[in-house]
Structure 1
Amino acid sequence: MSFLTLTNIQKSFGPVQVVHDFNMAIEKGEFISFLGPSGCGKTTILRMVAGFETPTGGSIVINGRDQSSLKPNQRNIGMVFQAYALFPNMNVFDNVAFGLKVAGTPKAEIEKRVKEMLDLIHLGHLGERYPYQMSGGQQQRVALARALAPKPQVLLLDEPLSALDAKIRVSLREEIRQIQQKLGITTIFVTHDQEEALSISDRVVVMNAGRADQIGTPFEIYNKPATRFVASFVGTLNLIEATVVDPATGSVRIGDTELKLRDTVAAAAGGKVQLAMRPEAGSLAEGRKSDTTLHGQVVSSHFLGSVIRTRMNVGGNTISFDMFNDPGVSPPVVGDTVALKIDSGDLLVLQD
C-alpha cells in the first residue's frame, strides 16, 4: 500500500474550484515535485496535505491514517516555506530546536538532535548566529533543519528556492535531494521551475488549471508529454504544422518533405496536424543517422557558449535546433540553406 494517498481531492474557494478530482499514490521515501504556473493549484494541494486548507472533497491518507480530522500540528509533517519563516529573535540553535521543545523533548535529546541537523546542513559552526546575520541560502538550510528535527513522516517544500540567486538555487536543490535520499523521507516539492523539478525528482506532477495533466518520471514528462500543455510548458518546443498525406499510414508533409510518422493521425488527407519536436532532436552533422532531412533557410543563429541555437524556416514553420559548440566548425549564418537531419520518431502529434 502507498505511504501517502490523495483520492479525489477537490478544493473550492467560494464559487471558484481550484483543484479538480486530484488523485495520486506516493510511495515511502519518494521525492515528488508539483510543477506548474502560478494559480494552477499546486500549492493548494500542498497546504491541504499539511492541514492548512481543508479539502472540499476527497481524502488524504498518510501511513494508513486518514488525515481529515487532524490539525496541522497532529500530522507529523515538516514544512519549509519560500520566505524561510525563521524566528528573528532566536538564534540558529533555538530555531532548529523549536519543534522539539514544543513536543516536550528532553533537553539532552534536543541538543543531540539539533547538533545532528546542523551537521547535516553543514552549519554546525553557526549555531549562535541570528537569521539576520546569515545569507538567504544559509537561512533556508536552517529552515530545512528545523522542519526535519522532529523526524516528520512527510516533508513539504513550498517553492523553497525561488527567493535565492541562480547559483545558490542549483547547489541548494542538490543538497536538499541528497539530504532527502540520506534520510529516506517522503517529500513533496512545489516549484514553477522546470529545471528544478526535472533534476531532483523521482516523479513530477505537471499541474494545469487545477488538474494533473501528467504524472511521470522526469524522462517521461520531457520525452513523452501526454498533453499539449505539458509539451509546451516543459522544456523548449518546436510547434510544426504539417499537411496530412495519408492518415492510415501516418504520412505527412512538412514544406517539401514527405515523411511517415510513428503513429497514425486523426485528420483527413489534406488536413493539418500540429507536431512537436525538441530543439536537440535535430542535427546538421554529416554523419548523423536519420530517416528524414528537412531543408530550409537559416533565419537566426545565437552563440550561447557551449550551445549554438539556430532557427530555420521550413515551409513557413520556424524550427529551432541546438548544436554543441565545436571550435573547428563555424556556426550557421543567416541566409544559409541547411539540411536538418531528424528522426520521424522524434515528432510528436499533438492531439489536444
Structure 2
Amino acid sequence: MSFLTLTHIKKSFGPIQVVHDFNMSIEKGEFISFLGPSGCGKTTILRMIAGFETTTDGVISIAGKDQNGLKPNQRNIGMVFQAYALFPNMTVFDNVAFGLKIAKKPKAEIESRVKEMLKLIHLDHLADRYPYQMSGGQQQRVALARALAPKPQVLLLDEPLSALDAKIRVSLREEIRQIQRQLGITTVFVTHDQEEALSISDRIVVMNAGRADQIGSPSEIYNHPQTRFVASFVGTLNLIDAKVTDAASNTIQIGDQQVSLKKPLGKANGETVTVALRPEAGSPAESAKGDIRLTGKVASSHFLGSIIRTKLDLGGTMLSFDMFNDPGISPPTIGEAVTLKFAKEDLMVVAD
C-alpha cells in the first residue's frame, strides 16, 4: 500500500487553475523530486501536502489517513524552505529544539534528540552559535535538522539549495540524500534544477502548466522522454521536425536524408513527426557502430572542457553532437564533412 497518495488533486486561485487533476502514489522511504519551471505548480502541490494551501478538489492521505481537514501542525510533516527561516535570536541548539519544545517533550528527550540531529548534520561543535555566525550551507543543514528533529512522517524540501553557490549545492544535496536514506524518511523535493533532480531522486515528476507530463525514474525521464516538453526541459536534446516518407517502414526525412526508425511512427505519409536525439548518442568515429548514418557539414564547434559540442548542418536541419575531449585528436573544423553514426533506438519519437 502506498504511503503518501494524492488523488485527483486540483487547485485554483480564483478563476485560474494552477494544478489540474494530479494523481500520484509515493511509497514509504521514497525520494520524489518535482521538477519544472517557475509557475508550473510544483510548489503549490508541496504546500497542499504541508497544509499551507487547501485543495480545491481531491484527497491527500498519509499512511491511509485523510489529511485534508488537518492543519499544518497536525500533519506530522517536516518542511525545509529556500530561505532557511531560522530564528535569528536562537542558538543552533535552540533552533533544532524548537519543534520538540512546542510539542512539550521532556527536557532530557529534547537534549538527546537535538544532539543526535546535530551529530547527523556534522554540526554538533556549533551548537552554541547563532545563524548570523554561520555560512549559508551550515544554516540550511540546521534547518534540515530542525525539520527532522520531531520525527516527521514526511519531509518536504522547497528548493532548499537554490540560494547556495554551486559547489556547496552539490555537496549538500548529496548529504541530504545520504541522511534521507539513513533515516528512511519519505521525501518530496521541489527544484527547477534538472541536475539536482536526476542525481538524487528515486522518481521524478516533470511538471508542465499544472500537469505531470511524465513520472519516472531519472533514467526513464532522461532516456525516454514521453512529451516534447520533457524532452526539451530535461538535459540537452536535439528536437527535429521530420517528414514521414514511408509510414509502413517507419521512414522519415531529416533535412535532405532519409532514415528508418525501430518503432512505429503513428503518423501517415506526408505528416510531420518530432524525433529527439541526445547529443551524446551519436559518434563520428570510424569504429563507431550504428544502424543510422547522417552526414552534414560542421556549422560550429565549441570546446567545453571534458567535451566538444559540434553542430552539423544536415541540409538545413541543425543537429548537435558531443564527443569527449581527446588531446590527441583535433576537434572538427567549420565546413568539414562529418558522418554521425547512432543506433535506431537512440532516435526517439516524442508526442507534441
Give me the TM-score of the superposition, normalised by structure 1: 0.98
Pairwise CA distance, 1:50: 0.3
The residue aligned with 1:109 is: 109
Q: Residues 111-163 of structure 1: CA distance to partner in whole angstroms, max 9, x if unpaired?
A: 11111100100101000110001000000000000000000000000000000
RMSD in angstroms over aligned alpha carbons? Answer: 0.9
The alignment partner of 1:174 has SS state of helix
Aligned equivalents of 2:216 and 2:270: distance in 1? 35
Pairwise CA distance, 1:285: 1.3
The residue aligned with 1:272 is: 272
- Structure 2 residue ranges without an equivalent (≥5): none
Aligned: 1:303 with 2:303: yes
The residue aligned with 1:315 is: 315
The residue aligned with 1:190 is: 190
Pairwise CA distance, 1:245: 1.9
Aligned equivalents of 1:125 and 1:351: distance in 2? 53
Q: Residues 141-199 of structure 1: CA distance to partner in whole angstroms, max 9, x if unpaired?
A: 00000000000000000000000000010000000000000000000000000000010
Aligned: 1:132 with 2:132: yes
The answer to whether the 8 Å contact 1:2/1:27 transfers is yes
The alignment partner of 1:280 has SS state of coil
Shift in CA distance, 271/65, structure 1 to aligned 2, threshold 3 Å: closer
Aligned: 1:229 with 2:238: no
The alignment partner of 1:300 has SS state of strand
One-letter code of the match for 1:57? D
The alignment partner of 1:245 has SS state of strand
The alignment partner of 2:182 has SS state of helix
The residue aligned with 1:98 is: 98
One-letter code of the match for 1:175? E
One-letter code of the match for 1:193? D
Which structure 1 residue ranges, 4+ long, deviate > 6 Å from structure 2?
none
Pairwise CA distance, 1:244: 1.6
Aligned equivalents of 1:253 and 1:299: distance in 2? 20
The answer to whether the 8 Å contact 2:283/2:323 transfers is yes
Aligned: 1:52 with 2:52: yes
Pairwise CA distance, 1:350: 2.5
Moved more, 14-23 or 254-263: 254-263
Aligned: 1:161 with 2:161: yes
The answer to whether the 8 Å contact 1:248/1:265 transfers is no
Give the aligned length.
352
Pairwise CA distance, 1:242: 2.1
- Structure 1 residue ranges without an equivalent (≥5): none
The residue aligned with 1:15 is: 15
Pairwise CA distance, 1:85: 0.2
The alignment partner of 2:195 has SS state of helix
The residue aligned with 1:324 is: 324
Aligned: 1:76 with 2:76: yes
Matches within 5 A, 1:20-31: 20-31=20-31
The answer to whether the 8 Å contact 2:100/2:149 transfers is yes
Moved more, 134-143 or 236-245: 236-245
Give me the TM-score of the superposition, normalised by structure 2: 0.98
Pairwise CA distance, 1:83: 0.1
